[in-house]
Amino acid sequence: MWWYTARRILQTIPVLLGSTLLIYALVFLRPGDPVRALFGDKPVSEATIAQVREQYNLDEPFLIQWLLFLKGALTGDFGQSFTGRPVIDLIAEAFPVTIKLALMALVIEAVLGIIAGTIAGLRKGKLFDSTMLVVSLLVIAVPIFVFGFVFQLIFGVKLEWFPPTVGGNTSFYNLLLPAIVLGLVSFAYVLRLTRTSVAGNLSADHVRTARAKGLAEGVVVRRHVLRNSLIPVVTYLGVDIGALMAGAIVTEGIFNIPGVGNLAYQAVVRGETPTIVSVVTIMVLVYILAALLVDLLYALLDPRIRYA
Amino acid sequence: MSTQQPLLEVRDLDVAFYADKKAIPAVQGANLTVYPGQTVAIVGESGSGKSTTAHAIIGLLPGTGKVTGGQIVFDGEDVARSGKKEFQALRGDQIGLVPQDPMSNLNPLWRVGTQIKESLIANDVAKGKDADRRVHELLAEAGLNDVERRARQYPHEFSGGMRQRALIAMGLAARPKLLIADEPTSALDVTVQKQILDHLDGLTDELGTAVLLITHDLGLAAERADHIVVMYKGRVVESGPALEILKNPEHPYTQRLVSSAPSIASQRLSSVKEREKVRERAIQTAGEIAAEIATTEGVVGKGEDNIIVVENLTKIFRLPGDRPWRKTELRAVDDVSFALPRGTTTAIVGESGSGKSTVARMVLGLLEPTEGTVKFDGYDTAKLKGKRAMALRRQMQPVFQNPYASLDPMYTVFKSIAEPLDTHGIGTSKEREGKVRDLLDKVSLPTSVMRRYPNELSGGQRQRVAIARALALEPEVVVLDEAVSALDVLVQAQILELLNDLQAEMGLSYLFITHDLAVVRQIADDVLVMQDGRVVETASVTEVFDSPREQYTRKLLDAIPGRDLLTTA
Amino acid sequence: MPKPTLPGQERYVAPAEETPLAAVDSVQVDETPASQWREAWKQLRRNPLFLASAVLLTILAVVIAFPGLFTNADPRFCELSRSLDPAEPGHPFGFNFQGCDVWSRTLYGARASVTVGVLTTLLVVLVGGITGAVAGFKGGWADALISRVGDIFFAIPLILAAIVTLSSVKNWFPDRGFWGGIMAVVLTLALFGWPQIARIMRGSVIEVKNYEFVDAARAIGASNRRNLWRHIVPNAISPVIVTATVSLGVFIVAEATLSFLGLGLPFSVVSWGNDIAEAQRLVRSGTRLGVMFVPAAALALTVLSFILLGDAVRDALDPKAKKR
């Protein structure tokens, strides 16, 4: 178990390094001069430009820039945004909002997806199952921003159940509608996964054995079907945190939420290398940590791999 | 005695499965009766309806299965059309089940003890601490040691035999009046099989539990049951007292079964005589081929008497240990030496983990030996390179165990058999087609199967195709790795006969790997008995069967079910 | 010790003619030969979901090939004076904000959206399939290297990675036109999409690699390469096909999302993503929802068809259903 944990942690290091390098390279490919772009049409002296260049390490070769970024990141210094604020401060403001939003979405999709998926799996081919299947397919097929606008219009503007935009007040209630929109696609996947898993497990040999023992149907389903079926679902949910963070780019845009997604989008539009790379690094870190957590949780759920 | 009431009476039972709203009958008009404390066996091949009958009795028919007619009277009540709740009350404390495959029948996520405890609680036998104590007693009763630790372990920490014992403990936990044992040991090694069946026998005798034993093995049924019911194609074709059925089978199907069962056939002198004839012819043909080979260019071989000589073969697998930097070594094969004389069959017999298949893979050159040499007709196979290594491939071919995995499902039968010819660039496409026709003829398959895919063929037919593919390159040696183990007895007997015919005709030499000592007598001349990677006994077939020297060999022989029934009775 | 026979257990022999003995293991010769794929096809044809998706995809193919069959309006002929005009004869869904015909733009937009989906999927299957097959077959350091590189690309969420890449690449070709714009999106999505297919292919190859027919082919003397491409890959490909069909839909949605963020196809390209994105401000004000719903519905229907197709193919190829 200890070795398993240690090895998984070791494996994540090259992935983390590699993905920051990758993002660094992609941003580096951007044509044009970010410094000149920063000043727009304003006339600036060459000296000022050189100074700004040095300040952001833009005069160094690409790999050195990356290494300097890493060095800074290790000490908590992610550089400065073009507006002069330390990136770490921007992230510190935005990150909790997005995490809150993503966790809310995760809870919503997990609870609803698992419940609906289980019922559908147990009653495969019946009305509820077919309905859920259609709903999940629709949710996957329609781009999420369409749902975003429609929900905003119906529940925010017309019915006035929720505020149509969030703005500065990121309370639980204000984030509820965006969280539902954010979790919608994953809800469909969780539902489908649970359904397939439950339906498959229902015909497993060990479930027949459980029935042969004379267990009541409810006990059979709870202890022998559900628990086994949830293992792949848990894996999916863990990896999904990363996807939710990225999905926040769209959702935060629609509902005007000051989170990391918005921050990332603005930075991309402006070409602010330090902010882009920092935000991506944080998101990748969250994804990797979640995947790690799931792997370890997996070992608790499934005794077979405890000593692998 | 005649005043006794039957515990279970199945009358004119019909069971059908539904596909596309059409009923496909699986059991038709089955009758059987079980009295309290009795052991009754249902014998049949796969697809005979024996398991379906058993599942109907406990109300656990899979998928679309339904009882469509007849009665199942248990303890005076017809349960054939009972609902979920009624069956739930019946299961556990009235009817228990010991399922077939110990690997898939325990839930991998719960401790073994917990899974047994569930049964106690569900049937109101015991609760809380009492239940825990009872679990320990039950595990001990099923023949497990160190029960407190065992109860806390998970199924994956158990061996196959231990799991089956746990399943027996589970089946008997609520002391049912009837225990349905569905092929309870067919997935286990023979010696473990015997131990477990002995134990089950003793236990059910002691408790007075009636047993309905489902098995494909007539010898085993005759040895364990009082009464036998033979099923064929969904119908009961014969039933009666066990020994009577075995001694004078009357239905043609039962007669066929009795004459093919390897456990019984191995005792017959006729099979020994037939084998001798085969060997004589094979050695003669092989000798002629050898004389030719000694003078032919481009072939690996000097025409020696021993076509394969294995010396001090050892294979060590390095497995990850408990620490990353530590590896544990597993000696899968340890210093094995033997010779395969041209035109004969040497059998390597052993239980799982004995290293027999590893030896086969090393002989075939699919696995590199850690130490030792494999000589093919005088040449060290490890030192052959390039063209000569390819030539060696032509002279030695394998046939594997699993008829469902040994043919590429994407290839037609023609393509599968022609592939070796294609790979070695032999003949024009027309010649190849002729050759494939010849080969199919040799393995007694109609040429119409050429365009078919493996999924359309039965296990036996696939194995014939695999044999035809192996023979395509006209090899001298065929390595048969459990080649008949996965087949139903009748098909098994047929394939063994085919292998004998081919050997006599083509002068083939066989290396025959098997876990089943019973089939050895019909095909082999020499036997190597392996245990834990080592050879424990090497002798001729007659010596092994009539005067085994080693205790382990004797144990294997004793484990052949029904072996003594015909000779002593 | 002979026991007395109990009632119900008397010796019974069924009449031989009731179950006539068949030859042991006889071959059925009457049916037509059926490969795994043909069996799957037979099953597919009876699946109503497959038929529905097939009909929809056929219609889609016709629309892509000949959009002019269904409308007389030019998607690029826009007059601001007709901005948001309601439906009229020849213009069944009215006009969008720019005064272009909504129906015509939706029909012509299919080409770009579906091209992105199809090309991305092909590329992903090609790259992911080959790398995954090599990783699974070779094992060892090749596997470790490919898997780690895949992890790196997989760790960055698709949409995030795509907007960063597209914002960098976008200005490479100032006048990209139809194909330039499409290729930028396709390459970007494929760059971060291949690891998923590679993982599936790798797992599948590792499973198939251990089948006995692979050993049998080795014993014949077949080379590693022949073994991999002739035996292993054809048997390992079906889960990849299933995933790829669903991914095709996902990529179409991704293109729309990128266009919504202003980083997808250039505005000059008529595409569903661009039209939906352009119509978003109308939804905010709650007027003329049709302008958004028509392209959105077309997109949803297309994606739905591909997902249904994937589901149907999976059911047909399911090994559990295939057992005889």
Task: Choose the closest CB to C219 out of B366, B424, B448.
Answer: B366
CB-CB under 8 Å, A158 with C160: no
CB contact under 8 A, C12 and B239: yes
> Per-residue DSSP letters for chain A?
-HHHHHHHHHHHHHHHHHHHHHHHHHHHT--S-HHHHHHTTS---HHHHHHHHHHTTTTS-HHHHHHHHHHHHHTT---B-TTS-BHHHHHHHHHHHHHHHHHHHHHHHHHHHHHHHHHHHHTTTSHHHHHHHHHHHHHHHS-HHHHHHHHIIIIIIIS-SS-S--TT---HHHHHHHHHHHHHHHHHHHHHHHHHHHHHHHT-HHHHHHHHTT--HHHIIIIIIIHHHHHHHHHHHHHHHHHHHHHHHHHHHHHT--SHHHHHHHHHHHT-HHHHHHHHHHHHHHHHHHHHHHHHHHHHH-GGGTT-
Rounded distance, CA B276 to CA B268, Å? 13
Kindly give, in sequence order, each residue whose CB lies less than 8 Å from that of residue B435, ignoring residues fewer than 6 positions away.
B418, B421, B426, B427, B472
Confidence of residue C323 (pLDDT cuts 50, 70, 90): very low
Token duo for residue A171: 């309370």
Chains that touch A (3 or more CB pairs under 8 A): B, C
Give the DSSP H or E segment for B158: none
Instruction: Give me the tens of pLDDT residue by residue for chain A, a chain 308 residues long.
Output: 677 778 778 888 888 888 888 888 887 777 666 666 666 566 677 777 777 777 666 667 778 878 887 887 777 777 777 777 888 888 888 889 999 999 999 999 999 999 999 999 998 888 999 899 889 988 988 888 888 888 888 888 888 888 888 877 878 888 999 999 999 999 999 999 999 899 889 988 999 999 999 999 899 999 999 989 998 898 889 888 888 888 888 899 889 899 998 888 888 887 777 788 888 888 888 888 888 888 888 777 888 765 54
**Chain A contact set for B324 (CB, 8 A):** 3, 7
Provide, as residue numbers in chain C, all residues whose Cβ is less than 8 Å from the Cβ of A205: none
Contact C158 A141 (CB under 8 A): no
Contact (CB<8Å) C169/A138: no
B400 interaction partners in chain C (CB closer than 8 Å): 212, 215-216
- Reported ipTM: 0.83
Contact (CB<8Å) C257/A143: yes
**Least CA distance to C43: which residue of chain B?**
B20
How far is B33 from chain C, CA to nearest CA, in Å? 6
Closest CA to B421 of B441, B389, B397: B397
**Which residues in chain B have Cβ-Cβ distances shorter than 8 Å to C31?**
456
B396 contact residues in C (CB cutoff 8 A): 219
Distance CA B437, CA B431 (A): 10
Angle (CA) C38 C39 C45, round 5°? 85
Q: Check residue C30 and give its pLDDT.
A: 58
Question: A8 and chain B: CB distance < 8 Å anywhere?
Answer: no
A219–chain B nearest CA distance, Å = 9
Chain C residues closer than 8 Å to B4 by CB: 6
Angstrom distance (rounded) from CA B189 to CA B556: 10
Q: Does C163 contact A265 at a Cβ distance shorter than 8 Å?
A: yes
Residues of chain C in contact with residue A202, where contact means CB-CB under 8 angstroms, are: none
CB contact under 8 A, C12 and B236: yes
Q: Phi and psi (nearest 5°) for B428?
A: -80, 170
Lowest-confidence pick of B385-389, C133-137, C220-224: B385-389
Contact (CB, 8 A) for A175 and A104: yes
| Maximum distance among all Cα pairs of chain A, rounded to whole angstroms | 86
Question: Do C151 and A15 lie within an 8 Å CB cutoff?
Answer: yes
Exposure of C79 in the CB half-sphere (CA atoms within 13 A): 6
> Using H for helix, E for strand and C for coil, what is the string for B332-389?
EEEEEEEEEECCCEEEEECCCCCCHHHHHHHHCCCCCCCEEEEEECCEEHHHCCHHHH
Q: For the residues C267-274, what does the mean pLDDT come to?
A: 83
Chain C interface, Cβ < 8 Å to A? 148-149, 151-153, 155-161, 163-165, 167-169, 171-172, 249-250, 253, 256-257, 260-263, 273, 276, 280, 283-284, 286, 292, 296, 299-301, 303-304, 307-308
Q: Which of A154, A306, C216, C205 is nearest to B423 (CA)?
A: C216
Across residues C134-146, what is the average pLDDT? 91
Q: Which of C33, C34, C220 sits opposite B393 (nearest CB)?
A: C220
Q: Does C284 touch chain B if contact means CB atoms closer than 8 Å?
A: no
The pTM of the full predicted model, rounded to 2 decimals, is 0.84
Which residue type is seen at B63? G
For B176, the closest chain A residue by CA position comes to: A213
pLDDT in tens, B470-507: 999 989 999 999 888 878 888 888 889 899 999 999 99
